């Protein structure tokens, strides 16, 4: 990713390189996630919502792949907010889809204006 602040309606570009040394086909799967937290005194309620995702082309066994995955940020996306009563944050969760399972390996915070 070339930056960490984006506007609603923009397209987020994720450059990646992966080496698959296994005997299974794998796929890179980034997901844009919104976390909303409501805070009041001793009450803290949090929810998590998948906003957008996009699979990369499969990376075949014993090969490597470099590519760009595009994730559109919705036009009606709420901005990042951090105030005493509510907190809205976003991140790009990075997964690798390996045959019949999905492995989470990183999370990158982003800001929406």
Q: Domain ranges for the chain, please list them.
A: 5-112
Q: What is the pLDDT along the chain (113 residues), one digit of tens a residue?
A: 789 999 999 999 999 999 999 888 899 999 999 999 998 888 889 999 999 999 899 999 999 999 999 999 999 999 999 998 999 999 999 999 887 788 888 999 999 99
Angle at CA 57, nearest 5°, toward 9 and 64? Answer: 120
The helix or strand, by DSSP H or E, that contains position 71, with its residue range, turns out to be: strand 63-72
pTM above 0.75, yes or no: yes
What is the CATH T-level fold of the domain 5-112, as seen in this structure? Immunoglobulin-like (2.60.40)
Positive or negative, the Cα torsion across 52, 3, 34, 80? negative
CA angle 35, 36, 40 (to 5 degrees): 140
pLDDT digits 0-9 by tens, 2-24:
899 999 999 999 999 999 998 88
């Amino acid at each position: 990713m070339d930056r960490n602040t984006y506007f609603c309606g923009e397209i987020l570009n994720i450059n990646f390189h992966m080496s698959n040394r296994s005997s299974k086909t794998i796929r890179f799967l980034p997901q844009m996630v919104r976390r909303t937290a409501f805070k009041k005194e001793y009450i803290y309620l949090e929810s998590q919502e998948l906003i957008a995702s996009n699979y990369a082309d499969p990376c075949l066994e014993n090969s490597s792949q470099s590519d760009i995955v595009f994730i559109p940020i919705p036009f009606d996306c709420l901005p990042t907010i951090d105030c005493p009563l509510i907190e809205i944050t976003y991140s790009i969760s990075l997964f690798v889809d390996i045959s019949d399972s999905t492995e989470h390996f990183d999370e990158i915070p982003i800001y929406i204006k």
